[in-house]
């Protein structure tokens, strides 16, 4: 294999390379295949079955047994087999149609695939750094995102508890003493004197009105009750006298009638 296809053996290995050449028929036939068919070589039954049933086509064939595909994780096996098939197709063409037989192309492609696999397994985003003249280098990009939380309390315009408490409680700041001028002090003294004079006048006027008003004799409640009782006692015997007169007349009439009957 190193004598026939050195670049393919470095990329895929001796056994897998020999199986691919035997499946295609020769190295020239393998070189004529595109990368997509190199990837699926050995899985023709699965391919036609998937096309008939309209299911997903297979991702790999004989190339699945290569070292690079085997050491990658299950999620990256399909991606790795696609990249390896593309490089293997180039290597076959160089081996079949190249004048100089060298292994430089195979080693370079293998190194690129290994670095790419390492980067994919790390899971970090990549950033292309470099200019047009220099070769581009793949650096691992570390995303440092700051998480900012939205303050929901800023939405409401209603007064919060803190503001209401501050309004209710007086401030603890020291009071600033006001410096009064002599003119202001004289004005305060005069205002106080005027207020005293007005109060005196009001009290004098109230006393005069009270003296001029007629005096009403206020009888206590106990005396009023006694008077009512006396009036009720005086009215009761009169009623009794009025009721006794007709009763006495009726009794006399009855006696006269009895006497008449006895005489008869």
> What does the pLDDT look like over 19-46, one tens digit per residue?
999 999 999 999 999 999 999 999 999 9
What is the distance between the alpha carbons of residues 83 and 12, in angstroms, rounded to a whole number?
12
Asked if 77 and 23 touch (Cβ cutoff 8 Å), the reply is no
Distance CA 92, CA 106 (A): 10
Q: Give me the pLDDT at residue 147, please.
A: 74
d(C-alpha 62, C-alpha 41), whole Å: 6
On the question of pLDDT at 91 being above 70, the answer is yes
What pLDDT does 168 receive? 58
pLDDT over 80 (residue 240): no
Report the chain's mean pLDDT, rounded to a whole number.
78
126 beta partners = 140
Q: How many CB atoms lie within 10 A of CB 141?
A: 11
Check whether 128 has a pLDDT greater than 70.
no
- CB contact at 8 A, 33 and 24: yes
φ, ψ of residue 147 to 5 degrees: the values are -90, 115
Higher pLDDT, 201 or 116: 116
């Amino acid at each position: 294999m190193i004598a026939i296809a050195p670049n393919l053996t470095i990329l895929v290995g001796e056994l897998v390379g020999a199986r691919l050449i035997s499946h295609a028929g020769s190295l020239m036939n393998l070189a004529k295949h595109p990368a997509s068919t190199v990837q699926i070589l050995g899985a023709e039954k699965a391919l036609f079955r998937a096309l008939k049933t309209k299911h997903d086509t297979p991702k790999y064939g004989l190339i699945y047994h290569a070292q690079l595909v085997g050491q990658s994780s299950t999620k990256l096996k399909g991606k790795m087999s696609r990249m390896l098939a593309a490089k293997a197709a180039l290597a076959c063409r160089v081996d079949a149609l190249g004048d100089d037989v060298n292994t430089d192309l195979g080693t370079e492609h293998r190194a690129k695939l290994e670095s790419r696999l390492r980067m994919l397994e790390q899971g970090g985003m990549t950033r292309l750094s470099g200019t047009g003249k220099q070769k581009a280098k793949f650096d691992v990009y570390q995303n440092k995102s700051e998480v900012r939380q939205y303050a929901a309390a800023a939405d409401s315009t209603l007064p919060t508890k803190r503001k209401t408490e501050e309004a209710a409680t007086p401030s603890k700041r020291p009071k600033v003493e006001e410096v009064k001028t002599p003119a202001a002090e004289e004005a305060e003294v005069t205002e106080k004197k005027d207020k005293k004079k007005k109060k005196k006048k009001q009290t004098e006027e109230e006393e005069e009105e009270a003296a001029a008003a007629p005096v009403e004799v206020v009888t206590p409640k106990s005396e009023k009750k006694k008077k009512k009782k006396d009036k009720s006692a005086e009215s009761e015997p009169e009623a009794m006298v009025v009721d006794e007169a007709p009763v006495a007349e009726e009794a006399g009439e009855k006696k006269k009638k009895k006497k008449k009957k006895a005489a008869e």
